[in-house]
Amino acid sequence: ARKRDGKNGAQLYDPAILDQTRERAEIESDIEVGIAASWFEAHFQPIVDIETGVASGFEALMRMRHPRKGLMAPGSIISVAEETGMIAQIGNLILEDAMANLARVSRLPGMDDTYVAVNFSPLQFEPGLPARLAGLLGHYGIQPQRLVVEITEAVLMHDNPEIRTILNEIHHFGCLIALDDFGTGYSSLSYMSRFPVDIVKIDQSFVRSLTDKAGDVGSKNKMLIEGISAISHKMNCKVVAEGVETEEQRMLLRQMGIDYAQGYLFSKPREISELLSALTARQAELRSMAS
């Protein structure tokens, strides 16, 4: 690291911290410009039936298409956007893009009951959210059960009655609620009884440890996944495993009763034009097989 001394020889700034501050400021200004200049777009990753590998729906994942830096994943963006509150605007842009593109995908033959799962930040849970969702669904003529609202523990943590009311309204309206990154937080299980949950998404760290960690840890995590799966089914929830990368993981998860899988084994997140051409090609293939 560069060494920078103060006037009287004392180290005033830690250059590493200075770099971090600069980088953060740059991300913040990129986000501001990006919102105004429409750099944000949703990419789509299939969520497949673990038995057949057929996509039942897609998760919308935020990307920022920076004209100079290229496509940026949410990693560095989300935390800055959360701190500044800009995540609410970004979230709404991604939601709108996801709905518009779900409408396009739905027009393909046989795709009229596919769904989109959208990630929501705690800051999006304001009282106007249910009406906004209803408005968008109405605009695109999409049935509410074809929108999955993905939330993490961060949304539920403070047991805020206002957030509970909003979630109940959304659920009552007919949208599905998915608990994302399940099992990594503090009280995942208790959220299942206190909030209206339809889908449990088992965090990719569990999936990875199935085949990465030999012996005790691997086999204990296997028991945890089996347990989560059994409890979820008892509570009438469907279970999705995240981050499935190998056929071996898929086979194990299938034996454990997992319903759906998402991961690079099936597909990376794709931009909408790629997704549409992949789906169209697949359908042509199916038609030629049938004839």
Interface with Mg ion: number of residues (CB under 5 A) = 5
Residue 78 binds which entry of Mg ion, ligand C2E, none, CB below 5-8 Å type-dependent: ligand C2E
Q: Cα(285)–Cα(287) distance, rounded to whole angstroms?
A: 5
The minimum distance between CB 133 and ligand C2E, in angstroms, equals: 15
Which residues partner with 109 through β-bridges? none
User: In the range 10-49, which residues lie near ligand C2E by CB under 6 A?
Assistant: 45
Query: If binding is defined by CB under 6 A, does position 264 make contact with ligand C2E?
Result: yes
Q: Is residue 183 near ligand C2E by the rule CB under 6 A?
A: no
Q: Classify the C-alpha dihedral 11-16-21-25 as positive or negative.
A: positive
Q: How many residues does the chain have?
A: 291
Question: 204 vs 229, which CB is nearer to ligand C2E?
Answer: 204
Q: Binder to Mg ion among 30, 181, 198, 259 (CB under 5 A)?
A: 181
191, 200 Cβ separation under 8 angstroms: no
Among 46, 57, 183, 269, binds ligand C2E (CB under 6 A): 269
Q: Applying CB under 6 A, which part among 29-37, 74-82, 134-142, 212-220 lies near ligand C2E?
A: 74-82
Tell me how crowded residue 154 is: count the other CB atoms within 10 A of its CB.
15
Q: Which region among 170-178, 220-228, 262-270, 278-286 touches ligand C2E (by CB under 6 A)?
A: 262-270
Question: Do 117 and 47 form a contact (C-beta atoms < 8 A)?
Answer: yes
Measured CA angle at 176 (ends 62, 121), to 5 deg: 40
Q: Encoding tokens for residue 159?
A: 């047991």
* Contact residue for ligand C2E among 34, 46, 57, 263 (CB under 6 A): 263
The reply on whether position 245 binds ligand C2E by CB under 6 A is yes
245 φ, ψ to 5°?
-115, -20
Q: Is 236 exposed, middle or buried (0-12, 13-18, 19+ CB in 10 A)?
A: exposed
- The C-alpha atoms of residue 146 and residue 115 are separated, in whole angstroms, by 4
**Closer CB to ligand C2E, 42 or 142, in the complex:** 42
Taking CB within 5 to 8 Å according to partner kind, which of Mg ion, ligand C2E, none is near residue 121? ligand C2E
Question: Binding residue for ligand C2E (CB under 6 A) from 66, 74, 132, 274?
Answer: 74
Judge residue 31's burial from the number of C-beta atoms within 10 Å of its C-beta, 0-12 exposed, 13-18 middle, 19 or more buried: buried
Binding site partner of 243, from Mg ion, ligand C2E, none, Cβ cut-off 5-8 A by kind:
ligand C2E
Side-chain half-sphere of 280: how many Cα atoms within 13 Å? Answer: 9
Of the pair 146, 270, the CB lying nearest ligand C2E is at 270
Query: Between helices 129-140 and 87-106, what is the axis angle to 10°?
Result: 30
The answer to whether residue 231 forms part of the interface with ligand C2E (CB under 6 A) is no
97 lies in the binding site for ligand C2E (CB under 6 A):
no
Which position has the token pair 């034009």? 273
Q: Does 229 bind ligand C2E (CB under 6 A)?
A: no
The contact set with ligand C2E (CB under 6 A) reads: 45, 61-62, 73-75, 78, 87, 91, 94, 119-121, 180-181, 204, 242-245, 262-264, 269
Interaction site with Mg ion (CB under 5 A):
119, 150, 180-181, 242
